[in-house]
């Protein structure tokens, strides 16, 4: 009998009406004050400015050109900060009902442009459609929660003496950065933000344009961290610095704010770990694994490390490997027919081809030094357009025992690479789960609640889940970190309001400070 030939994969095409050109044309219509044919503008002193040299940029989705950020120089950034202080001094006296009304109108405008904001996130930072929409929705819904409950949070509190300066990573422009900006403004502060260098400038420009129309005092500028840090971090006009990013940059910001005695919120990376000890519910674990690859693990609460009891390793692999093979990767807008629904993917590209190469090189180096590859995905499992550039895509990889000399042993890869470490004792389990001197989240899967209650307090993470992943959280869920993963005030719920307002003299905010650590 002649064997049956495998069915060829269908040729894919771009979903109708979702090209970068389509998105840019909609931006020009939606916010003509903030967009030109060939560039976005900077927003400062309540005016859109065509200043700054626009850098070339490409989308990680397929390597094609998109609009890059217009980089300001230090002198212009200082002007922008001084203008933001003038806005702050006026805005802090605007009555709360009016501030609420303006923020509410801004949220209505964001919701009305939900599809366009999500499409920009797809092209600029490679988010699959489901996750791009969720990023927009979490921003809008999260700020609405503050609108509904802001009065008691602001009781006996006052805005800061100067505007809040935000420097955030590129991965969550809406649900982290825009959310924070609008809540900070609701609390009575003018707000400054620097667009992330690696992506998101068009999405943030549109969001800020919609809010600025409603009279919300926002400043949005672009530039290199080295060029703008003197103005955005050290300037005496700044009332608070809010930073989300890596430890290297965060350490420099932490040194600056500590020297100046400035209010600060510094969320930094850590190696979030998932421990497996005296555990048997493998069906539940297998169902969770694909979701852990959301957005290619390019988020601060991703779990890139499993710490597994050696005697359970065979059962763990039996559950884990089929699950990781089911992870869906591809072009976020590639469909069989132009009118088809958006594809259901776990992740698309990494933020850049350079990051993808760096991660692939780290994997190769780790294997050369003794790590054991347990899984490596292939192109046959991915969805791409014919002939498209795929240099920013990395298939899922799982390595056993990365060597201590490898960055994958001690640092967050910020990409779809899982590492597994085997342990024999509870002491080894805790040591391996605390490898990065503090983390934002962790999880321990164990059948016995008593064992969890005994071990969890020794895991140096702000949130520890019992058999379930923990997230940054929304609305009233608090967020922070231990060790080097966090500096300054904790946030979430009323803590975010407390972090960007003044209370009674001598108030000690919950947070991780050089002189003290205070849990909520």
Cα–Cα distance, 168 to 186 (Å, whole number): 19
Phi, psi of 338 (to 5 degrees): -55, -30
The predicted-structure confidence for 118-167, as pLDDT tens digits, reads as follows 999 999 999 999 999 999 999 999 999 999 999 999 999 999 999 999 99
| Sign of the torsion formed by the C-alpha atoms of 460, 465, 469 and 472 | negative
CB 295 within 8 A of CB 131: yes
* pLDDT given for residue 269 in this prediction: 83
Q: What percent of the chain clears pLDDT 90, i.e. is strictly above it?
A: 87
The predicted-structure confidence for 93-114, as pLDDT tens digits, reads as follows 999 999 999 999 999 999 999 9
Distances (CA, A) of 67 to 39, 113, 201, 202, 331: 6, 19, 8, 8, 19
* pLDDT given for residue 489 in this prediction: 95
Of 306, 254, 271, which is closest to residue 460 (Cα–Cα)? Answer: 271
Domain boundaries, the chain: 15-268, 273-466
Start-to-end Cα distance in the chain:
71
Burial of 381 (0-12, 13-18, 19+ CB in 10 A): middle
The pLDDT confidence band at residue 460, using thresholds 50, 70 and 90, is very high
The pLDDT confidence band at residue 352, using thresholds 50, 70 and 90, is very high
* pLDDT given for residue 4 in this prediction: 54
Which SS3 state, helix, strand or coil, does residue 465 take?
Answer: strand
Query: Which range has the worst mean pLDDT, 15-29, 94-108, 402-416?
Result: 402-416
C-beta pairs of 360-368 under 8 Å, 24+ apart in sequence? 360/394, 362/406, 362/407, 362/408, 362/413, 362/417, 363/397, 363/399, 363/408, 363/417, 365/406, 366/399, 366/402, 366/403, 366/406, 366/408, 366/409, 367/399
Cα–Cα distance, 48 to 412 (Å, whole number): 38
Of 301, 272, 267, which is closest to residue 487 (Cα–Cα)? Answer: 267
Asked if the 273-466 domain carries CATH number 3.40.309.10, the reply is yes
Mean pLDDT over residues 383-393, rounded?
96
Topology adopted by domain 15-268 = Aldehyde Dehydrogenase; Chain A, domain 1 (3.40.605)
The predicted-structure confidence for 207-248, as pLDDT tens digits, reads as follows 999 999 999 999 999 998 888 989 999 999 999 999 998 777
**pTM for this model (two decimals):** 0.95
Given a cut of 80, is residue 192 above it in pLDDT?
yes
The predicted-structure confidence for 159-179, as pLDDT tens digits, reads as follows 999 999 999 999 999 999 999
* pLDDT given for residue 9 in this prediction: 64
CB 351 within 8 A of CB 392: yes
* pLDDT given for residue 3 in this prediction: 53
Given a cut of 90, is residue 261 above it in pLDDT?
no
CB 355 within 8 A of CB 363: no
Mean pLDDT over residues 272-301, rounded?
97
How is residue 156 written in tokens? 């006996």
* pLDDT given for residue 483 in this prediction: 85
What DSSP element (H or E) covers 83?
helix 74-91
Decide which of 313 and 253 is more confident: 313
Q: What percent of the chain clears pLDDT 70, i.e. is strictly above it?
A: 98
Decide which of 348 and 485 is more confident: 348
Mean pLDDT over residues 293-301, rounded?
95
Given a cut of 70, is residue 422 above it in pLDDT?
yes
Cα–Cα distance, 402 to 390 (Å, whole number): 26
The pLDDT confidence band at residue 257, using thresholds 50, 70 and 90, is confident
Given a cut of 90, is residue 255 above it in pLDDT?
no
* pLDDT given for residue 8 in this prediction: 58
């Amino acid at each position: 009998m002649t064997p049956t030939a495998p069915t060829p994969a269908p040729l894919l095409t771009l979903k109708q009406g979702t090209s970068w050109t389509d998105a840019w044309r909609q931006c020009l219509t939606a916010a003509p004050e903030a967009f030109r044919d060939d560039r976005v503008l900077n927003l400062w002193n309540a005016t859109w400015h065509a200043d700054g040299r626009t850098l070339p940029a490409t989308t990680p989705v397929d390597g094609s050109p998109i609009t890059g950020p217009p980089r300001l120089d230090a002198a212009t950034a200082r002007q922008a900060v001084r203008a933001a202080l003038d806005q702050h001094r006026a805005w802090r006296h605007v009555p709360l009902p009016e501030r609420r009304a303006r923020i509410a109108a801004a949220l209505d405008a964001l919701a009305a442009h939900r599809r366009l904001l999500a499409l920009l996130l797809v092209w600029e930072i490679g988010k699959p459609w489901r996750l791009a929409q969720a990023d927009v929705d979490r921003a809008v819904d999260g700020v609405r929660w503050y609108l509904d409950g802001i009065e008691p949070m602001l009781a006996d509190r006052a805005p800061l003496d100067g505007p809040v300066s935000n420097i955030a990573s590129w991965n969550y422009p809406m649900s982290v950065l825009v959310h924070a900006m609008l809540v900070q403004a609701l609390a009575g502060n003018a707000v400054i933000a620097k667009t992330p260098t690696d992506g998101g400038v068009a999405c943030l420009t549109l969001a800020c344009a919609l809010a600025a129309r409603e009279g919300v005092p926002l400043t949005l500028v672009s530039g290199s961290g080295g060029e703008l840090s003197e103005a955005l971090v050290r300037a005496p006009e700044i009332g608070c610095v809010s930073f989300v990013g890596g430890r290297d940059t965060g350490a420099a910001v932490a040194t600056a704010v500590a020297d100046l005695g400035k209010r600060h919120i510094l969320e930094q990376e850590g190696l979030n770990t998932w421990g497996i000890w005296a555990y048997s519910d493998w069906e539940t674990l297998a169902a969770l694994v694909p979701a852990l690859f959301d957005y290619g693990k390019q988020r601060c609460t991703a779990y890139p490390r499993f710490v597994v009891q050696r005697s359970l390793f065979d059962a763990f692999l039996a559950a884990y490997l089929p699950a990781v093979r089911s992870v869906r990767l591809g072009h976020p807008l590639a469909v069989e027919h132009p009118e088809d629904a958006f594809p259901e993917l776990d992740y698309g590209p990494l933020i850049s081809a350079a990051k993808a190469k760096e991660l692939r090189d780290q994997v190769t180096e780790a294997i050369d030094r003794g790590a054991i590859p347990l899984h490596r995905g292939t192109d046959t499992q991915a969805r791409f357009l014919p002939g498209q550039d795929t240099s920013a895509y990395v298939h899922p990889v799982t390595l056993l025992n990365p060597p201590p000399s490898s960055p994958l042993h001690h640092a967050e890869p910020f990409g779809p690479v899982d590492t597994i470490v085997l342990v024999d004792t509870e002491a080894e389990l805790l040591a391996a789960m605390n490898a990065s001197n503090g983390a934002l989240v962790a999880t321990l899967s164990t059948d016995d609640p008593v064992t969890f209650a005994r071990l969890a307090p020794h895991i140096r993470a702000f949130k520890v889940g019992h058999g379930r992943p923990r997230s940054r959280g929304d609305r009233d869920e608090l967020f922070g970190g231990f060790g080097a993963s966090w500096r300054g005030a904790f946030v979430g719920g009323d803590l975010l309001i407390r972090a960007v307002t003044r209370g009674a003299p001598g108030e000690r905010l919950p947070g991780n400070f050089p002189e003290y650590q205070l849990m909520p």
